Amino acid sequence: MRIGPHLLKNNLVVAPMAGVTDRPFRQLCKRLGAGMAVSEMVTSNSLLYGSAKTRR
């Protein structure tokens, strides 16, 4: 599977999920065979209003 210039080893992609896909989770998914694991989903409203939890 190819996404732009990036060639993935397979078509298994971990979707962005708020509050779930932290770094250890993504590393585990890659180790178990995911072709791509993306960072955690961040909502723009939290960034606009300066939520402390979002900044962490």
User: Distance between CA 26 and CA 37 in Å, rounded?
Assistant: 6
Residue keyed to tokens 């180790």: 31
- Assessment of whether the complete model's pTM goes beyond 0.85: no
- For the chain, state the CA radius of gyration: 14
Q: Which residues pair with 14 in a beta bridge?
A: 37
Over the stretch 31-42, which tens digit does the pLDDT of each residue have?
A: 999 999 988 777
The predicted structure's pLDDT at residue 7: 93
Residue ranges of the chain whose pLDDT lies below 70 = 46-47, 50-51, 53-56
